[in-house]
Amino acid sequence: MIDKKNVTRDEISETIHTEFGFSRKECLDIVNDIIDIIINGLNDKNNNIYHSIDDPIGKFKKGDFKCRNVKIHNFGTFTLKRKKSRLGRNPKTKEEVIIKDRYVVTFKASKNILRLIN
C-alpha cells in the first residue's frame, strides 16, 4: 500500500494509461470528467441530506444544507460535510488559534475497491 496521502490527477491518469493502454490525453480527460462530475454533484443545491442527529437543537430547517453526496457505483461515495469552528494550536509556537468553520470533502471507498486494494 502507498504511504502517500494525496494523489494527483496526473498520477491517476498515468495509472489508467499503464493499466488500460489509453492515450495519456484520453486518460487525463477521463480523470477531469470524473472530477467535474463530483464537483458539480457536491455543488448541487438540491443534493442535500438533513441529519437531525447533527442538529439536536433544531438550528437548521429540514431543507437546509448539512451534507451532500456523490455516489459512483462500485467505486465509492464523496461527501461534502460542514465542520464547525474550533480552537486549534500551532504546534511550533503553542499559540492557540480559532479555526473557522469550513466544508470538507470525504471519500468512502466501496467494498469492491477495498477488496481490490487489499
Q: Is the pLDDT of residue 98 over 90?
A: yes
- Mean pLDDT, the chain, integer: 77
Fold of 47-118: HU Protein; Chain A (4.10.520)
Give the phi and the psi of residue 37 in degrees, each rounded to 5.
-60, -45
Residue 103 to residue 67: CA distance in whole angstroms: 9
Q: Give the residue-averaged pLDDT of 2-16.
A: 74
Three-state secondary structure call for residue 58 = coil
Domain with CATH 4.10.520.10 in the chain: 47-118
User: What is the CA angle 44-50-51, rounded to 5?
Assistant: 140
pLDDT (0 to 100) of residue 1 = 44
For 113, the 3-state DSSP assignment is helix
